[in-house]
A and B are shown apart, each in its own frame.
Chain A
């Protein structure tokens, strides 16, 4: 390894609190503190804090930002109101997915409006390189990479909102799902959104880097009696898998398109033209080549990424993209791509390192929280 790994503003806290640090997307990140399972369960039962500062944060200012974002995203964002958050994809001309992102439209206390795009850590450099030449066509739009100036903290779980309500000077429960607001509640402005990647209710906070430790510790303190814990990337992965959420590098990559990835909801194809739209319209007409399904392998042995998926007759018809034990359900779960012609099959087999295991299709998500 020749390049040095970056550290998040919370790096010292992780190390002082038992975080097992691993390289991830150019950062040193905690994969776990105590155990993946206990952190996972704390998130489902109370709440967990995640340092997600490695995620890329790109800010877009200036007239024409809406048009620019509309040009590069599969999802229409030109009509995104102030306070709105939208999930979308950045695609190549052929429809291949470069990244999946969240775009927020926010307004500062001094009434400056801008868009903030959260990109995957592993794709940050690629997306910056992809967008830079396109920005030449939008001379009034400026892009600034805010990743290193800020930290990002996710607080997720059934007890998250009430604890944040006690801590904050405003009531975050008034923020609806997929809404964002800039608050000056901390020493420096912070973006608070009701979003997450765990299947639980909760918030994501983008704060100034120098404020990160204080806010992190205050959040932990606010949930002390509720059983809040810090959780690492390991639990984040098992939580998002249970929630049926795709992860770039696993379900998503440049050789799969959003329709074949089951992300039609994130594509506004009607009356729109954007990078990749021609290819996607064609795919929509003929139908995607694959479908993303949930599988439950029989027994206890988890199927892992890369395990071939076979039909009843033993023909290879797909591949597992993510798989592991589900701590909430107590049995292994997997997401897989299978040939569209097998979308409705009721039986599959998974080749787990040479052994064929029967697997039943399961509706995604595997886990859905009880609605309040």
Chain B
């Protein structure tokens, strides 16, 4: 299965989320957009959250670090962390090549209170990136 980036939702802070139904629950798979990864370039470290952590939309849940700078990762959705891509920090060089499939960071079981109204669709996100240059 290959994730279609045009079907994903995006946060202004460049995280993507793929919402899917699994066993009657909504699960959001979260990653960082190809645009953001290209800007960051030369990744050296990633800090991941613990399993079971409750996240609120907009909350910092980890960080990704390039040679030059540390960038926080913000959760685009509210919910509980049910999976963490543990192999990712050891394979950061692969992240740039495959941000939407290999590059998933966490899976979150979406809480009922969650709202995705503030997220951007692909077209709106692309517009934001174009404006950022």
Q: How far is A327 from B67 in the complex, measured between Cα atoms in Å?
A: 9
* Contacting pair A325 B67 (CB below 8 A): yes
Q: How many residues of A contact B (CB 8 A)?
A: 17
Which residues from chain B contact A36 at a C-beta distance below 8 Å?
41-42, 66-68
Contact of B67 among A300, A301, A324, A353 (CB under 8 A): A324
In the complex, B83 has a CB within 8 A of chain A? no
Which residues from chain A contact B42 at a C-beta distance below 8 Å?
35-37
Interface of B is mostly: strand
In the complex, A238 has a CB within 8 A of chain B? yes
In the complex, A365 has a CB within 8 A of chain B? no
Which residues from chain A contact B45 at a C-beta distance below 8 Å?
300-302, 325
Which residues from chain B contact A300 at a C-beta distance below 8 Å?
44-45, 89
**Known: A36-B41, A302-B44, A302-B45. Is A234-B65 also a contact (CB below 8 A)?**
no
In the complex, A115 has a CB within 8 A of chain B? no
Q: Write out, one digit per residue, whether chain A residues 286-309 have a CB within 8 A of any chain B CB (1) or not (0).
A: 000000000000001110100000
* Contacting pair A35 B41 (CB below 8 A): yes
Q: How far is A238 from B68 in the complex, measured between Cα atoms in Å?
A: 9
Tell me the number of A-to-B contacts counted with CB atoms below 8 Å.
Answer: 34
Q: How far is A32 from B40 in the complex, measured between Cα atoms in Å?
A: 11
A250 to chain B, nearest CB (A): 14
Residue of B nearest to A355 (CB): B47
Which residues from chain B contact A69 at a C-beta distance below 8 Å?
none
A339 to chain B, nearest CB (A): 26
In the complex, A31 has a CB within 8 A of chain B? yes
Question: 14 A-B contacts, Cβ less than 8 Å apart?
Answer: A35-B41, A36-B42, A36-B67, A37-B67, A234-B67, A234-B68, A238-B67, A300-B89, A302-B65, A304-B70, A325-B44, A325-B67, A327-B67, A353-B63
Binding site for A on B (CB under 8 A): 41-42, 44-45, 47, 63, 65-68, 70, 89
Q: A237-B68, A302-B45, A325-B45 are in contact. List 19 more A-B contacts (CB 8 A).
A: A35-B41, A35-B42, A36-B41, A36-B67, A36-B68, A37-B42, A37-B67, A234-B67, A234-B68, A238-B67, A300-B44, A300-B45, A300-B89, A301-B45, A301-B65, A302-B65, A324-B68, A325-B44, A332-B44
